Amino acid sequence: MQVLNTQAFVGKTILITGGAGGIGAQTALSLAKLGANIVLSDIDDDAVQVTMGHLIETGAKALYVHTDVSDVEQVSALFTQAVEAFGRIDVVLNNAGVEYAPTPTHLTDDDLFLTNIDINLKGVWYCVKAALNIMLAQKGGQIINVASVAGLRSAPLISGYSATKHAVVGLTKSVAVEYARANIRVNAVCPSFIDTPMVQRTLAHMDERGQKSIIGASPMKRLGQPQEIANAIVWLASDESSFMNGHCLTLDGGMLA
């Protein structure tokens, strides 16, 4: 997937949650290089400043708003500030997420499960609603949700995380159909194990055998790279994917093939 029009994002505004690192940061940088205005949100103020520095180096206009996506008031403030700064929001990437160490379901702490619900599901729900209200008024836009292969298949030992990602897939498809005639497209990406801080935290909880099993789960026998996911998101965000709606794009090196 390649965006052939290098001017495709000039003047467009992209809002990205969970933008401090990993997929969010790499996508922000890729879009900034194509001329987009970038609005980042996260709760890691220190880490996001590194990303902001890279964005400014590209010459892009960029805004950071500290946001806990599980707090509807903070989400509302994020979208309000984005519109005040740039006038509109063309694309929203719901990337903020959280995980927990692989644990048998019957031993998983309920608070960990509820934290996953708060960020991975409620956070996406709040951002989708905020995006829809803005995009309906401006007569168009795109929403891209970061789900997971764990939202498409079983995920033993992380069943709570998997439950939230299945919910994101269902939300993506339902909203896509509901708002298609309003010129609002909604899609998702479903990565497998990508070399991000989140996956590195998961690997740190495993022994060598467990780590090898994670890396070997893909037929390509490696972790995906954030840039590989960012490339797909950039294409989805472009008009070159104009007939794709309600789709959950799998990026897993062949794991589900």
What number is the average pLDDT over the span 51-63?
96
In the residue annotation, 161 being an active-site residue is answered as: yes
Q: What is the pLDDT of residues 164-223, one digit of tens each?
A: 999 999 999 999 999 999 999 999 999 998 888 787 887 787 778 877 777 778 899 898
Return all residues near 208 (Cβ < 8 A) that are at least 6 apart. Answer: none
SS3 for 94? strand
Instruction: At 159, list the tokens.
Output: 């069943």
CATH of 13-197+225-250, one of 3.30.300.130, 3.40.50.720, 1.10.3210.10, 3.40.30.10: 3.40.50.720
Q: What is the pLDDT of residues 135-168, one digit of tens each?
A: 999 999 999 999 999 999 999 999 999 999 999 9
DSSP state of 75: H
Cross-strand bridge partners of residue 63: 39
Question: Tell me, what's the pLDDT at 194?
Answer: 87
Q: What is the DSSP string of 61-82?
A: -EEEEE--TT-HHHHHHHHHHH
Q: How far apart are CA 37 and CA 86, in angstroms?
A: 8
Q: How far apart are CA 101 and CA 97, in angstroms?
A: 14
Q: How far apart are CA 203 and CA 117, in angstroms?
A: 22
Instruction: At 33, list the tokens.
Output: 């290089």
In the chain, what are the domain boundaries? 13-197+225-250
Average pLDDT, the chain: 94
Q: Which of 4-8, 118-122, 189-193 has the highest mean pLDDT?
A: 118-122
Q: Kindly name the residue from 64, 100, 126, 161 that is annotated as catalytic.
A: 161
SS3 for 160? helix
